[in-house]
Structure 1
Amino acid sequence: MTAAPADLHIDRPTVDDGAALWRIAKDSRTLDLNSSYSYLLWCRDFADTTAVVRGADGRPVGFITGYLRPEAPETLLVWQVAVDTAHRGRGLAARLLDGLTARIAGERPLTRVETTITPGNTASERLFTSFAVRHGAHVEREVLFDTAQFPDGPHDPEVLYRIGPLALPSR
């Protein structure tokens, strides 16, 4: 577990957390909402590269999902980060990101973090650029998926943020 405010703690998700992650993502109104089934699978198959922050009652109030890229296993691709509305403004997203990367680096080599951010998502831009600063890393940006590549209607482009090399303690 990673340090968080006294009434909260960070750990790995379980399948039982999938519904809460789906709800938090839905309530965020900024994330692309995946099917509830996908959050259940994520909590089962990618628990090692995902973290939840739990309230005093043990229920998730925030999460970060990610996976190690098959072509670049020392790179964590962060898929989604969300915190329940009632718990925002407490630095939980940054603690989730720091905690997850520290956990992974303690288990295997981790040199980079990647994520995609849509233009204008200032909160995510700040989260990931401040992460880079805290970990002595550079940030490179380029469009990964342009608007025209999305088959389901208008979608903002997804800008890839490559953060690294990271200065993280390793195993």
Structure 2
Amino acid sequence: MTAAQADHARARSDIKELPEGFKLDTPRVEDGAAIWRIARDSKALDLNSSYSYLLWCRDFATTSAVARDAEGEPAAFVTGYVRPERPDTLLVWQIAVDDAHRGRGLAAALLDGLTTRTAHDLGVRRVETTITQDNAASNRLFASFAERHGAPHRREVLFDAGRFPETGHESEVLHLIGPFDPPPGPLF
């Protein structure tokens, strides 16, 4: 095996694969209601209107992903978009796993699958997201993503708590990850 082949094999093995019985897919409009319910039930995300999830599945399906269970229903999702002024950057808007499927690696597999696809299809080399300090699961997810992909990871406050109109909203910390080299071949 050449050094290039070894790097190729290592890069693919670093990708988190979906657990057996799940399929990585592009969201469809008919998934919007299920995605809204997963977001609502997460109790960690800012819940957007159900209408916005339908629009997201229509207008940003290319930069989003769902994990489907054996019946083809969404069990987890990640939504994102390419930043208009930074076309090499995917901003991950939300990621959530249905309560019945947590602890199985779906969030990491979704994130790896989506970033692999957008790297190959759109030239993405960086990921950004915002996370509040108290969201330990998301902070771990994105730190492990950066480590798995050997990418730099910086954090800075993007929106201080005082910018939010409602009281009690924590500051949103921007996670800047990358640049990273895309793994070989999209996963879906």
Relative to the length of structure 2, the TM-score reads 0.87
Structure with higher Rg: it is 2
3-12 or 70-79, which deviates more = 3-12
Runs of at least 5 residues in structure 1 that lack an aligned partner in the other structure: none
- What is the aligned partner in structure 2 of residue 102 from structure 1? 116
1:40-77 deviations in whole A, cap 9, x for unaligned? Answer: 00000000000000011111010000000001010000
CA distance in 1, matches of 2:20, 2:98: 17
Q: Which amino acid aligns with 2:26?
A: R
| Cα displacement (A) at 1:3 | 4.2
Task: Give the percent of matched residue pairs that are identical in Structure 1 and Structure 2.
Answer: 64
Out of 24, 30, 39, which is 2:53 matched to? 39
Say if 2:19 and 2:105, in contact at 8 Å, map to a contact too: no
Name the amino acid aligned to 1:117.
Answer: I
Ranked by relative contact order (alpha carbons within 8 Å, sequence separation 6 or more), the top structure is 2
1:162 aligned partner:
176
Contact 2:26/2:62 (<8 A) preserved: yes
Counterpart residue identity of residue 139, structure 1: H
Offset from partner CA, 1:92-118 (integer Å, 9 cap, x none): 000000000001111121110000000
How far 1:4 moved relative to its partner? 1.7
- Which residues of structure 2 form unaligned runs of 5+? 1-15
Check the 8 A contact 1:8/1:55 in 2, yes or no. Answer: yes
Q: State the secondary structure of the residue aligned to 1:142.
A: strand
Q: Is the 8 A contact 2:118 2:124 kept in 1?
A: yes
**Match of 1:141?**
155
Instruction: Indicate if the aligned counterparts of 1:139 and 1:164 stay in contact, CA closer than 8 A.
Output: yes
Q: Which structure 1 residue ranges, 4+ long, deviate > 4 Å from structure 2?
A: none
Which residue of the partner structure matches residue 42 of structure 2? Answer: 28
Do the aligned residues in 2 keep the contact of 1:77 with 1:113 (CA within 8 Å)? yes
Q: 1:64 aligns with which of 75, 78, 85?
A: 78
Taking structure 1 as the reference length, the TM-score comes to 0.96
Tell me how large the CA RMSD over aligned residues is.
1.3
| Secondary structure in structure 1 of the residue aligned to 2:35 | helix
Q: SS of the residue aligned with 2:165?
A: coil
